[in-house]
Amino acid sequence: MSHFELPALEFAPDALEPYIDKETMMIHHDKHHQTYVTNLNAALDKHPELKDNSLTDLIAHLDKVPEDSRTAVRNNGGGHYNHCFFWKVLIPGGSKQPTGALAEAIDKQLGGFEKFKEAFTAAATGQFGSGWAWLTVTKQNVLKVTNSPNQDSPLMDEATPLLGLDVWEHAYYLKYQNRRPEYVKNFFNLINWDFVSDVYEKTLNANTVL
């Protein structure tokens, strides 16, 4: 029994060119992401008691996953969650920068948009090997720029991801080879800041409910 499915992209595979090429998008989505989904479902088939858990619950509460499947759920569930999130963050044309409550929070907490870009770029280029760069918000509504190895998610640290960038080589190697900094720089041309801001405001409201 399959529990999770590969979501369709909300844009054409070539819609992010010239920054992310069509072939990379097709391999990344159709092959890599599908593998995470397939492997996650195989891990969950061993434990029918987990079938009603949401993906977020599984990733945020790995301690509740039986030990014989925990690593598989961490890696493949994390891969599925992170990629579902990544596709939402990307949009053809992108938007220049955040507005509203998120823009204000970035100004107050991270020193402004340019300082944020510097910190995020450092997190993305400085992640050794495979992993992700993130803008997150904690339960105390504090913005943080972080990175994580492999397919680990901020959910594992009780933080909510707002923006994520995949820096696994499969995300950029066909076009950029070893030029990860160029890939990171071009990512800023593709960010769906409306989505990021919406997640932030919903999280802010959820965290402040008494």
Can you name the residues that pair with 90 across neighbouring β-strands?
Answer: 191
Sign, Cα dihedral of 68, 73, 74, 75: positive
d(C-alpha 156, C-alpha 196), whole Å: 19
Angle between helices 78-89 and 34-45 (to 10 degrees): 150
As annotated, the binding site for Mn(2+) includes 28, 83, 166, 170
The helix (run of H) or strand (run of E) holding residue 201 is helix 193-208
**DSSP3 helix / strand / coil % (the chain, rounded to 5):** 55, 10, 30
User: What residues contact residue 132 under an 8 Å CB cut-off, 6+ apart?
Assistant: 82, 147, 148, 151, 152, 164, 165, 166, 167
Q: Are 34 and 82 in contact (CB under 8 A)?
A: no
d(C-alpha 92, C-alpha 85), whole Å: 16
Prior bond of 18 cis (ω within 30°): yes
